[in-house]
Structure 1
């Protein structure tokens, strides 16, 4: 997708953070953008600031995401790029987790992506120009992180879903590309996720800033801006890259995980 001018993008979680930055970057490329978010006030302000269309959407609702797809078609006639970006990131030790914690995390981070794919894939398939899907995962989908068990589970699932979906689309000869955004520490509102937690899913997960997490207790946080992250996404769409890695300096723990898997294969082969 070399030329983004005139293309149409839909971005969930588009009112702030990475979602907003992607919307701004795409508008700068000449794209028409529809942002969706669960926070009406912030959504309205962002849409007015950047010149995007907007719609209040809770991605845990299949009906609301289907309505988003219908609204995009009604307004623009097609969709070229879907960014399943809405997500949450609170933390808690494994021992204190409740079923509500798991449900909330999986509902937003995994079912939100599933709902987006289900609603928009037929739209992208019908687009004669092809299309592209960007699913926001995390570096915590590529390596285990203490204190983030439900988050890791949801993001590992998003990566597996995206990889398998890309293979399926390739087998059918589709012109739909798939990119997996794996942010490390990026400036966003992820650290205040509980502001949107449903009352009926109360539990142990709490907002924790990365600076205060176990993962970064012995090292400084190498922050990246949402704007720089958005430029990486633009490049990935143009070049049909599978993975979008914001922090190459975090390779070592990913390599360590891969080496452990490889050693297990070698042990089995050697008896």
Structure 2
């Protein structure tokens, strides 16, 4: 998919971070943009900023982990713009402690957003795209955490590994149908976003008393390491540029963090050689 002018794009998690950067890039390419996000105030702020640049924008408050919200998103998109050619499944959160200490509410919240959100949008929007019978593209935002192994951030890792498999399978299935829908898997490393503060948007049904367990000292150290990496990470604009370049060239794997390839290669070699997993601690800038 090499031409974006006058195309329609839906972006989940569009109010901040990578999603907000993707929206700006869509606006620069003269696309009609549907912004979907659960954070209402930030969503309408993004809407106002983009509209002031002359962009055509529709904002829909959306919890991607709620199937009904995705159907509403589709209905509003079709009634306003008539179709969608680009779908960015970008919404994502992190939460919980280690695998055995994380609450069921932690698991439900993170998996609902990071995995079920993409399942819902795929089921709803792929048929719409197929019916258009024109060039379309889907980008699922996973993470380098979905291509490697390691301790900490456990539910996030599980969700992103599942999203990698979902996206690869979707790619193959669409190829078999000879559809005109391209698919890309975005796996960034550390990006300077508010992912570490995702709890600000945690729905009340996943925050019952006793559900949130204080992290242990070891877990706190991992959390602080991740936060430092995020604060020193690449800009969302850089990730958006990588992403659009990949769409233009119909490229599936998008790895903005070149250093992640070492860890990915090590994991693949361990699997092929039947070695036990090891972990490379990602480097952060001084």
TM over 0.5: yes
Q: Does 1:204 align with 2:212?
A: yes
1:245 pairs with 255, 260, 267, which one?
Answer: 255
Match of 1:94 in 2: 99
Q: What does 1:47-86 align with in structure 2 at a 5 Å threshold?
A: 47-51=47-51, 52-86=57-91
Q: Report the CA distance shift for 1:256/1:125 in structure 2 as closer, same or farther (over 3 A).
A: same
User: 2:274 and 2:26 mapped to 1: Cα distance?
Assistant: 43
Query: Contact (CA 8 Å) 1:145, 1:215: kept in 2 or not?
Result: no
Match of 1:258 in 2: 268
Query: Contact (CA 8 Å) 2:62, 2:70: kept in 1 or not?
Result: yes
User: 2:76 and 2:214 mapped to 1: Cα distance?
Assistant: 34
Q: Report the CA distance shift for 1:255/1:216 in structure 2 as closer, same or farther (over 3 A).
A: farther
2:115 pairs with 110, 113, 116, which one?
Answer: 110
- Taking only aligned residues, the RMSD between alpha carbons, in angstroms, comes to 1.9
Q: Report the CA distance shift for 1:205/1:179 in structure 2 as closer, same or farther (over 3 A).
A: farther
Stretches of 4+ moved more than 4 A in 1? Answer: 215-218
Q: Does 1:228 align with 2:233?
A: no
Match of 2:13 in 1: 13
1:143 pairs with 125, 129, 148, which one?
Answer: 148
User: 1:76 and 1:145 mapped to 2: Cα distance?
Assistant: 43
Q: Does 1:33 align with 2:33?
A: yes
Q: Secondary structure of the residue that 1:4 maps to in structure 2?
A: coil
The number of residue pairs the alignment matches comes to: 260
Deviations along 1:169-218, whole A, 9 cap, x unmatched?
A: 001101100001111100111110111112222333779xxxx7538859
Query: Contact (CA 8 Å) 2:94, 2:155: kept in 1 or not?
Result: no
Query: Contact (CA 8 Å) 1:65, 1:119: kept in 2 or not?
Result: yes
User: 1:215 and 1:35 mapped to 2: Cα distance?
Assistant: 29
Q: Secondary structure of the residue that 2:273 maps to in structure 1?
A: helix
Gaps of 5+ in 2: 52-56, 276-286
Taking structure 2 as the reference length, the TM-score comes to 0.86
Taking structure 1 as the reference length, the TM-score comes to 0.91
Match of 1:169 in 2: 174
